[in-house]
């Protein structure tokens, strides 16, 4: 997917080449890892507020405004202007009315209306990001937030949370938002109409008129992500990630298995009572509908069929009741779900939040932690992509090893993650052909350039991210707090400064951006 190019990346293209040259490497101030071939194609460098200045008219206005206010963000600039001005009209045309409204308004009602319009438009074209839409990042700079209910199925992944409207820490809250957004787009296309933004559970069942049909629906950015209609409805209701692969085992039934068995019963028998029924009600429903032991037949290797993709579709009515009631000896569905991959690196966000905590006696920790999380892409939709565990492991060396060193396999049993020794041996010559692994199989097109990123998270930052981050760290409030705590943090902070400045120099960015040591 090609994403828009922001103003700063466009300007950066007029500077030195994006890729690091040998001369630039020799100029680096330290021996810290520097960007190599990991950097995305310049056409994919994005302004992470989700907007792009592709208009020369707007670029010139923005540059003039920045001369008067150097801290003016792209989002703040585009949100300005009179409602009936030429400026407003151009921004509406550039972004679309829905995105422009979300950029400008602090009225929750108007913001919600614009979200509805955006997801209506997604029925007829790809979403800008896997996670739907982005909450305007500049609000974390200005603290002018829009309070939105968590019950919205299309809530942007990076929208603020909690009574203090802080940046959402990456985790189940953020991933559930992304999963629901994907489900909402899939549902609106499958049923051919807009879905209410807050419909879940029984309300969603009624809205969809859900039935258990022998059909699968696909997602824009992953041809292997195929879901049945009950699976889509369950994902919207719970925020659970779509399943990559599963195994049916007779053992204690887990929560997800019991939930999805209820959804399949509700869809198959066209009765909403199953969704929220307690065990006593389920027993009565079983008595009412009677026994049926006939299960579906099919080819479990035919992955284009619902039989292969949906374990609940295979089971008989009686087996589904047993699973929903968690009866001893029932089938349980062990699953491996799809995972969200960060284009940037979570570990660096955690480290910057730790700095905000250490300086909290001298600055507003909540504001700075939110701002630094935003600047380092902790939950930004543009930085997140839903992948299979196999693909996640292949594009993120750290993700491939973080689960106690367990080797990742694809559904065909191929190894996904190499050992450290195998990475070292995987040189340019080995990349000409599939590289054999000592443990068997081949190391197919493993991105060697991810090895530096696993050691140095800053390698993942493009010019725009670095520019915004160091711009914030230059501010008087942050620098004053650092100097107040210099006795405790000097050596560690100066080491981080060396790392950041090394990458600024490698990208050929202005020397004025280099951070001072304390």
3-state SS record for 441-470 = CEECCCCCCHHHHHHCHHHHCCHHHHHHHH
Report the phi/psi class of residue 191: left, alpha or beta, with left for phi > 0 and alpha for psi in -120 to 50: alpha
In a domain, 282, yes or no: yes
Query: pLDDT value at position 138?
Result: 86
Q: Is residue 468 a part of any domain in this protein?
A: no
- The three-class DSSP label of residue 319 is helix
- Secondary element (H or E) of residue 306: helix 306-309
pLDDT of residue 413: 55
Could you tell me if 228 and 306 are in contact, meaning their C-beta atoms sit under 8 angstroms apart? yes
214 and 96 housed in the same domain: no
pLDDT in tens, 208-246: 999 999 999 999 888 899 999 999 999 999 999 999 989
Q: Which of 8-17, 30-39, 154-163, 386-395 has the lowest mean pLDDT?
A: 8-17
Please report the DSSP string for 30-68 in residue order: SSS----S-SPPGGG---TTS-----HHHHHHHHHHHHH
pLDDT at 282: 97
Among 122-136, 248-262, 303-317, the range scoring the smallest mean pLDDT is 122-136
71 CB-side CA count, 13 A: 11
Assigned domain for 195 exists:
yes
From 223, 409, 245, 204, select the one nearest 338 (Cα to Cα).
245
Judge if 190 and 116 occupy the same domain. Answer: no
- Count the domains in the chain: 3
Given this model, what pLDDT does residue 408 score?
Answer: 57
323 in any annotated domain: yes
- Cα 322 to Cα 213, 239, 293, 360, distances in angstroms: 22, 24, 11, 54
User: Are 243 and 318 contained in the same domain?
Assistant: yes
Comparing 273 with 399, the larger pLDDT belongs to 273
Assigned domain for 329 exists: yes
Confirm whether 172 is domain-assigned: no
pLDDT at 65: 83
| Residue that finishes a domain, picked among 403, 427, 451 | 427
Asked whether residue 241 falls in the same domain as residue 119, the answer is no
- Nearest CA among 260, 131, 223, 224 for reference residue 410: 224
Q: Are residues 209 and 321 in the same domain?
A: yes
Of the chain, the percentage scoring pLDDT greater than 90 comes to: 53
Nearest to 477 by CA among 72, 161, 71: 71
Neighbours of 271 (CB within 10 A): 15
pLDDT class of 1 with cuts at 50, 70, 90:
very low
Encode pLDDT of 54-72 as tens digits: 667 777 787 788 788 877 7
Domain that holds residue 401: 388-427
Cα Rg for the chain, rounded, in angstroms? 25
| 213 plus 328 within the same structural domain | yes
Confidence at residue 21, expressed as pLDDT on a 0 to 100 scale: 28
Task: Using the predicted structure, report yes or no on whether residue 496 has a pLDDT greater than 80.
Answer: yes
Residue 514 has a pLDDT of: 92
Other CB atoms within a 10 A radius of the CB of residue 217 amount to: 16
pTM of the model: 0.82
Query: Of 103, 127, 151, which one is at a domain's C-terminal end?
Result: 127
Percentage helix, strand, coil for the chain under 3-state DSSP, each rounded to 5: 50, 10, 40
Q: What is the mean pLDDT of the chain?
A: 82
pLDDT at 197 over 50: yes
Residues 186 and 259 in one domain: yes
- 199 and 288 both lie in a single domain: yes
Comparing 124-133, 295-304, 403-412, the range with the smallest average pLDDT is: 403-412
Torsion angles phi and psi, residue 119, rounded to 5: -75, -25
Domain boundary among 127, 145, 162: 127
Looking at residue 187, its pLDDT comes to: 97
Render pLDDT for 450-495 as a digit per residue (tens, 0 to 9).
Answer: 566 667 788 888 777 888 899 899 999 999 999 999 989 999 999 9
Helix, strand or coil, per DSSP, at residue 206: helix
Same-domain pairing of 186 and 86: no
Tell me the DSSP string of 247-263: EEEESPPPHHHHHHHHH
Task: Say yes or no: 324 and 185 in one domain.
Answer: yes
**Which residue has better confidence, 420 or 291?**
291
In this predicted structure, the answer to whether residue 295 has a pLDDT above a threshold of 90 is yes
pLDDT of amino acid 6: 34
Same domain, 209 and 311: yes
Segment 298-323 mean pLDDT: 96
What pLDDT does 445 receive?
47
Looking at residue 145, its pLDDT comes to: 94
Band of the pLDDT at 23, cuts 50, 70, 90?
Answer: very low
> What is the reported pLDDT for 512?
83
Q: What is the pLDDT of residue 429?
A: 54
The pLDDT of residue 118? 93
* pLDDT at 94 (0 to 100): 79
In this structure, what token pair is assigned to residue 102? 């979300």
- Both structure tokens of 126: 């790809």
Q: Band the pLDDT of 181: cuts 50, 70, 90.
A: very high
Would 328 be classed as within a structural domain?
A: yes
User: Between these two residues, 152 and 25, which has the higher pLDDT value?
Assistant: 152
Tens digits of per-residue pLDDT, 323-378? 999 999 999 999 989 999 887 878 899 999 999 999 999 999 999 999 999 999 88
With b for 16 or more beta-carbon neighbours within 10 A and e for fewer, the 407-443 pattern comes to ebbbeeeebbbbbeebbebbeeeeeeeebebeeeeeb
Q: Are 456 and 31 in contact (CB under 8 A)?
A: no
Do residues 102 and 133 make contact, with C-beta atoms less than 8 angstroms apart? Answer: yes
141 in Cβ contact with 154 (< 8 Å): no
Range in 67-71, 235-239, 278-282, 444-448 with the lowest mean pLDDT = 444-448
pLDDT at 5 over 60: no
* Residue 25, in any domain of the structure: no
CA-CA distances (angstroms) from residue 336 to 14, 235, 246, 262, 339? 45, 15, 6, 20, 9
Two tokens, residue 488: 């405790």
């Amino acid at each position: 997917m090609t994403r828009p190019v922001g103003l700063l990346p466009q300007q950066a293209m007029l500077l030195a080449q994006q890729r690091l040259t040998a001369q630039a490497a020799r100029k680096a101030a330290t021996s810290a890892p520097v960007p190599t071939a990991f950097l995305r194609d310049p056409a994919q460098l994005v302004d992470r507020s989700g907007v792009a200045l592709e208009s020369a008219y707007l670029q010139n206005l923005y540059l003039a405004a920045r001369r008067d206010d150097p801290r003016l963000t792209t989002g703040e600039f585009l949100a300005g202007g009179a409602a009936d001005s030429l400026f407003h009209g151009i921004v509406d045309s550039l972004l679309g009315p829905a995105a422009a409204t979300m950029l400008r308004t602090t009225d929750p009602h108007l913001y919600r209306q614009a979200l509805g319009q955006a997801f209506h438009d997604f029925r007829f074209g790809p979403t800008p990001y896997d996670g739907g839409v982005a909450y305007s990042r500049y609000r974390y700079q200005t603290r002018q937030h829009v309070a939105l209910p968590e019950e919205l199925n299309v809530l942007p992944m990076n929208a603020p949370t909690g009574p203090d409207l802080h940046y959402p820490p990456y985790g189940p809250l953020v991933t559930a938002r992304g999963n629901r957004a994907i489900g909402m787009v899939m549902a609106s296309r499958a049923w051919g109409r807009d879905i209410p933004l807050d419909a879940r559970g029984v309300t969603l069942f009624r809205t969809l008129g859900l039935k258990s049909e022998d059909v699968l629906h696909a997602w824009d950015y992953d041809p292997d992500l195929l879901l049945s209609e009950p699976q889509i409805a369950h994902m919207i209701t719970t925020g659970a990630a779509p399943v990559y692969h599963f195994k049916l085992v007779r053992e204690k039934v887990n929560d997800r298995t019991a939930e999805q068995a209820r959804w399949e019963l509700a869809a198959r028998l066209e009765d909403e009572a199953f969704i929220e029924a307690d065990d006593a009600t389920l027993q009565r429903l079983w008595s009412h509908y009677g026994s049926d032991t006939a299960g579906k037949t099919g080819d479990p290797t035919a992955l284009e069929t619902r039989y292969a993709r949906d374990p609940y579709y295979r089971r008989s009515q009686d087996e589904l009741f047993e699973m929903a009631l968690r009866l001893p000896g029932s089938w349980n569905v062990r699953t491996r779900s799809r995972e969200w991959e960060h284009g940037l690196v979570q570990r660096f966000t955690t480290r910057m939040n730790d700095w905000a905590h250490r300086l909290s006696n001298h600055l507003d920790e909540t504001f700075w932690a939110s701002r630094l999380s935003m600047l380092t892409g902790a939950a930004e939709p543009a930085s997140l992509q839903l992948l299979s565990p196999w693909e996640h492991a292949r594009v993120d060396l750290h993700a491939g090893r973080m689960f106690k060193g367990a080797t990742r396999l694809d559904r065909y049993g191929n190894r996904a993650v190499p050992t450290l020794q195998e990475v070292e041996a995987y040189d340019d010559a080995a990349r000409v052909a599939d590289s054999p692994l000592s443990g068997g199989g081949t190391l197919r097109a493993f991105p060697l350039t991810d090895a530096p990123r696993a050691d140095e998270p800053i390698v993942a930052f493009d010019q725009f991210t670095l520019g915004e981050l160091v711009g914030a760290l230059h501010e008087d409030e942050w620098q004053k707090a650092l100097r107040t705590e210099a006795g405790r943090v000097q050596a560690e902070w100066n080491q981080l400064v060396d790392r950041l400045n090394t990458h600024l120099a490698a990208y050929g960015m202005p020397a004025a951006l280099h951070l001072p040591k304390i």
